[in-house]
Amino acid sequence: MNPTPAEAARITGARNWAEMRADHPDHVDQMAAGLERGDRLADAVVAEFFSPDGISWDRTIGALDTPDQLDDLPPALLEFLVAAATPPPWYDPALARAGADAWWRFGSLQSSTLYQSLIYGYQARGFTRPLVETGRLTTGTWDRVIATARWVALSTAPNMMDVGAPGWVETLRIRLVHAMVRHHLVARQGWDTAAWGVPINQTYSQLTITAGFLALPLRIAKDLGLRYSTAELEAITHLWRWIGATMGVDDELLPVNYRDACLTYRIAREFQMEPDEQAKVLVNALLNDGYQTDLGLPGPLNSAVHTLARPFLRGFFATVSTRWVEPDVAEAIGLRPTRLHNLVVLARPVVRSREVLRSLGLLGSDTSVARRELRLVTGRLGLDLAQPGLGNRYRRADRNHLDTVA
């Protein structure tokens, strides 16, 4: 049985859940149901891992790199891989590739919206509570930011979400790590599912993909002066719909088109959220430790520059972020708007001038522009998309992360 409006309000912290259900019954009822669902296939893999017949975590994650080699795999992992490697009927690889090309046409701008995506997530109790319960509330902030940025770059790069490609593998790896965290919290740490919903549940996964990583960045891009055609918006939405499906989000919770994605985002914005105190702690940690100043200087000199620039950058990030957060939520999570948030307006002439030059062909083809942007961002993230064995790096990261939850 699905949670009642009162139960959903308690789980999420959204005071007006009943009113939102009256306005959008189908969407909000789906969200309510998703609060009590995890990821059946991924959860089964983790349960199998802990069974007497389970295989090692390295072998489990290693199987993601070779989805066409299914011999001698345990049943749950086999079912998981077969399902992940079988795209849904609506998936169009050419449309997803067009979405990646459009996304990376100004990828450096899109990558800069990551902080807003994280802050967006922190306003909901369901996003913050797993970090609290695993003891990772204020530790590893920079590592969490850089890992998320690398995943977004991998999953949105052209061809990287093809079955077996690095973005697809990394998305499945994160999906299994989420299942491992769910297992740890529910089975070994006494998570109160009735009061809090399932950890990393379907609804929070839906909102992370559709609102946090798709609709919000496109809103920010538009505010900064970047314009996409209708076809480009549909292609980008299709790409993120496929990323969400690979991440294990149920099909009925994924956006069928850009208009549907905007509706989900609007519903999420109209929920009257009551962030808990942990949200303020997370935002503060993000503003203090979620970025690094790297001017290519020798180590000690670069550290000194970062120390000097940090107070200004913290204040700048904090006030600019209020531009895309509802005022009452911004106050609850410790953000205070100032006139500095209007500095965004100063970026518009630069962005629009660049777009004029691009449209005239003076920056090269759109494909070459996207490739340059991709090289710029992945270079800063320490990623080489042509590097053999790219997934090995993430298998090492798996072991480090699982030490904290196993």
Q: What is the pLDDT of residues 279-299, one digit of tens each?
A: 888 888 888 877 666 655 566
List the structure tokens of 152. Answer: 């977004």
173 DSSP assignment = H
Residue 14 bridge partners (DSSP): 273
Query: CB–CB of 118/142 below 8 Å?
Result: no
- Work out the mean pLDDT of the chain and round it to a whole number: 87
pLDDT attached to residue 305: 63
List the structure tokens of 282. Answer: 């997370």
Count of structural domains within the chain? 1
Residue 273 bridge partners (DSSP): 14
List the structure tokens of 188. Answer: 């070994």
Of the candidates 259, 262, 241, the residue with the CA atom closest to the CA atom of residue 250? 241
Query: CB–CB of 332/278 below 8 Å?
Result: no
Between the alpha carbon of residue 295 and those of residues 87, 204, 300, 301, the distances in Å are: 42, 36, 12, 9
Between the alpha carbon of residue 137 and those of residues 35, 130, 206, 268, the distances in Å are: 22, 9, 22, 23
Structure-token match 């940025």, residue found: 149
Q: End-to-end alpha-carbon separation of the chain, Å?
A: 31
Confidence class for position 404, pLDDT limits 50, 70, 90? very low
Give the C-alpha separation, 85 to 169, whole Å. Answer: 10
Of the candidates 178, 149, 147, 160, the residue with the CA atom closest to the CA atom of residue 248? 178
Q: Where are the alpha helices (DSSP H) in 226-257?
A: 230-247
- Least trusted range by pLDDT, from 64-73, 103-112, 269-278, 315-324: 315-324
pLDDT attached to residue 88: 97
List the structure tokens of 358. Answer: 């691009």
- Least trusted range by pLDDT, from 60-64, 116-120, 236-240, 383-387: 383-387
pLDDT tens-digit series, residues 190-201: 789 988 999 999
Of the candidates 254, 304, 305, the residue with the CA atom closest to the CA atom of residue 27? 254
206 DSSP assignment = H
CA angle 221, 222, 227 (to 5 degrees): 100
Using a pLDDT cut of 90, give the percent of the chain over it.
Answer: 52
Give me the mean pLDDT over the 82-91 stretch: 97
Write phi, then psi, for 337 (nearest 5 degrees). -75, 145
pLDDT tens-digit series, residues 156-190: 999 999 999 999 999 999 999 999 999 999 987 77
Give the C-alpha separation, 15 to 8, whole Å. Answer: 9
Give me the mean pLDDT over the 324-348 stretch: 81
C-alpha radius of gyration, the chain, whole number = 21
Q: Does residue 23 sit in helix, strand or coil?
A: helix
Residue numbers of the domain that contains 329? 5-402
pLDDT tens-digit series, residues 39-51: 999 999 999 999 9
Confidence class for position 138, pLDDT limits 50, 70, 90? low
Between the alpha carbon of residue 406 and those of residues 2, 53, 71, 184, the distances in Å are: 31, 18, 27, 7
Please give the single-letter amino acid code of residue 295.
L
- Least trusted range by pLDDT, from 97-106, 205-214, 226-235, 312-321: 312-321
Residues contacting 193, CB < 8 A, separation 6+: 36, 186
pTM for the predicted model, two decimal places: 0.91
Of the candidates 138, 146, 140, the residue with the CA atom closest to the CA atom of residue 280? 138
Written in H, E and C, the secondary structure of 302-361 is: HHHHHHHHHHHHHHHHHHHHHHHCCHHHHHHCCCCCCHHHHHHHHHHHHHHHHHHHHHCC
Decide if pLDDT at 393 tops 60: no
pLDDT attached to residue 111: 82
